[in-house]
């Protein structure tokens, strides 16, 4: 299997247009700004919820999803904000949801761990580790049956990589030769358990044993991620089946917001990764080749700052959902009339 080596700094590779790099930066910057503000708002007690932020992991969402079309579906995890933003979910709609108000992505019924927006292909995320893999198989199967060259992607962590649900989904993807990417975001930990303890080998090593292509990629280097994902998506669209991408990265905010103690996260490891911050790496690469980068960067960051602040305003301004709606929408079938106890009403 093709193994991309970890590159210490990513010089601009041929074949990646500068405009694409700028877009990647914009996406990562949006994710970083969104997550950092969510972090502050949570710390200040303004945002409720059980939050798993992805600051530090921006390159995985940005680099992979840059290759996907709106109709290419993804499934994600409890740590899904980055995937949602990269896939094009409205930051305001997300923020309204995080505020627990009406009119957001999930009508207040999902929250951070369950963000979804079918219209832009962010099909599902959720609190069950590994559960997105089978769902993504169905997205890929649907694309294949429809005869389009659509693809699907499932994002999951290094911890989820040990879950039987994910493993048997890898097998089915290979057997059905589905157009799907298994994107393992290896941020070194599942909660406080190190990848070195939850798996005797690199998760990507498993792919071959199921007859699946794989690449291990530096998840801090968005260009490397973008290129590897490009190869995988091309393979999928060409009907050559699934690919497993293992992207090594790091979560600046640990396992979840409010996590009691992070002592298990060794400072030297963290500073290594912060030293190779995905935004800084890409900015450096762009500065080296793009005259007006400083101005463009400032512009982008200003825009995004506004975008996120107005999303927060939208969250603060949105009305609370009507408590009566708690019992609405359990079933999609419009003919179902049930009472509070789930009993048919004639």
Partner 1 sequence: MRVLSFADAINEAIQLEMARDPRVLVTGEDVAGGATIPGFDRADAWGGVFGVTRGLVTEFGRDRVIDTPISESAFIGAAIGAATSGYRTVTELQFLDFMGVCLDQIINQAAKLHYARGSDSAGIPIVIRSMIGAGSRAGSTQSQSHYSTVAHFPGLKVVAPATPADAKGLMISAIRDQDPVFFLENKALYETRGPVPEGDYTVPIGRANVVREGRDVTVVTIARMLSVAEKAVAELAGRGIEAELIDLRTIAPLDLPTILESVGRTGRLVVVDEDTPRCSVASDIVGLVSSRAFDKLKAAPRMVTSPHTPVPFAPVLEDAFIPAANDVVQAVLATVGQEVAV
Q: Sign of the CA dihedral 132, 133, 134, 138?
A: positive
Of its own copies, ligand TPP, partner 1, none, which one does residue 79 interact with (CB within 5 to 8 Å by kind)? ligand TPP
Residue 158 interacts with ligand TPP (CB under 6 A): yes or no: yes
Identify which range of 12-20, 79-87, 275-283, 337-345 contacts partner 1 by CB under 8 A.
Answer: 337-345
For residue 255, state whether it binds ligand TPP (rule: CB under 6 A): yes
Transcribe 115-164 into DSSP letters: --BGGGTEEE--SSTTTHHHHHHHHHHHHHHHT----EEEEEETTGGGSH
Task: To the nearest 10°, report the CA torsion of 151, 154, 158, 164.
Answer: -110
Per CB under 6 A, contacts with ligand TPP among 88-147 are 127-129
Q: Which residue is nearest to Mg ion (CB)?
A: 157
Q: Pick one of 205, 284, 296, 300: the residue that binds its own copies (CB under 8 A).
A: 205
| Burial bucket for residue 300 (CB in 10 Å: 0-12, 13-18, 19+) | middle
Q: Which of Mg ion, its own copies, ligand TPP, none is residue 197 near (CB under 5 to 8 Å by kind)?
A: its own copies
**Given the complex with ligand TPP, which of 90 and 251 has the nearer CB atom?**
251
Q: Least distance from C-beta 201 to its own copies, angstroms?
A: 4
Secondary structure letter of residue 187 according to DSSP:
-
- 196 binding ligand TPP? (CB under 6 A): no
Q: Which does 160 bind (CB under 5 to 8 A by kind): Mg ion, ligand TPP, its own copies, none?
A: ligand TPP
Q: How many CA atoms lie within 13 A of 303 on its CB side?
A: 11
Residue 275 found at the interface with ligand TPP (CB under 6 A): no
Cα–Cα distance measured from residue 184 to residue 229, given in angstroms and rounded to the nearest whole number? 12
Binding marks (x or -) toward partner 1, 176..215, rule CB under 8 A?
--------------xxxxx-xxxx----------------
Closest CA to 186 of 212, 227, 215, 213: 215
Scan for tokens 């040990």, then name that residue. Answer: 162
- C-beta closer to Mg ion: residue 155 or 293: 155
CA gap 19, 112 in Å, rounded: 31
Residue 187 Cβ, how far from Mg ion at the closest point, in Å?
4
Residue 254 has which token pair? 């640990």
What do you get for the CA distance between the two ends of the chain, in Å? 61
Pair 82, 157: CB distance under 8 Å: no
- In the region spanning residues 151 to 180, those forming contacts with its own copies, defined by CB under 8 A, are 162-168, 171-172, 174-175
Region 211-250 residues binding Mg ion, contact defined as CB under 5 A: none
Using CB under 6 A, list all residues that contact ligand TPP: 52, 78-79, 127-129, 156-160, 187, 189-191, 255
Using CB under 8 A, list all residues that contact its own copies: 162-168, 171-172, 174-175, 197-201, 205-212
């Amino acid at each position: 299997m093709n193994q991309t080596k970890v590159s210490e700094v990513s010089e601009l590779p041929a074949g990646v247009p500068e405009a694409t790099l700028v877009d990647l930066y914009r996406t990562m910057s949006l994710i970083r700004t969104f997550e950092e503000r969510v972090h502050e708002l949570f710390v200040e007690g303004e945002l409720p919820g059980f939050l798993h932020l992805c600051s530090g992991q921006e390159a995985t969402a940005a680099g992979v999803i840059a290759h996907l079309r709106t109709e290419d579906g993804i499934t994600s995890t409890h740590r899904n904000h980055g995937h949602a933003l990269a896939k094009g979910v409205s930051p305001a709609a997300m923020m309204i949801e995080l505020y627990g108000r009406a009119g957001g992505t999930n009508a207040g019924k999902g929250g951070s761990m369950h963000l979804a927006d079918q219209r832009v292909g962010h099909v599902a995320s959720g609190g069950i580790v590994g559960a997105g893999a089978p769902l993504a198989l169905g997205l890929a199967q649907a694309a294949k049956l429809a005869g389009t060259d659509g693809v699907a992607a499932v994002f999951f962590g290094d911890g989820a990589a040990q879950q039987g649900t994910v493993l048997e989904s890898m097998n089915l993807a290979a057997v059905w030769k589905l157009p799907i990417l298994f994107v393992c975001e290896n941020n070194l930990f599942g909660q406080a358990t190190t990848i070195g303890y939850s798996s005797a080998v690199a998760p990507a090593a498993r792919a071959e044993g199921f007859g699946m292509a794989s690449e291990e990629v530096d998840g801090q280097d968005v260009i490397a991620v973008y290129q590897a994902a490009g190869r995988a998506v091309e393979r999928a669209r060409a009907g050559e089946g699934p690919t497993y991408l293992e992207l090594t990265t790091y979560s600046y905010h640990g396992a979840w917001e409010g996590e009691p103690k992070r002592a298990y996260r060794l400072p030297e490891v963290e500073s290594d990764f912060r030293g190779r911050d995905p935004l800084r790496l890409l900015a450096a690469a762009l500065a080296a080749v793009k005259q007006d980068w400083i101005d463009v960067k400032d512009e982008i960051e200003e825009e995004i700052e506004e975008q996120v602040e107005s999303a927060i305003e939208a969250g603060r301004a949105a009305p609370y959902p009507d408590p009566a709606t708690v019992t609405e929408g359990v079933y999609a079938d419009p003919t179902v009339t049930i009472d509070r106890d789930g009993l048919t009403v004639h």
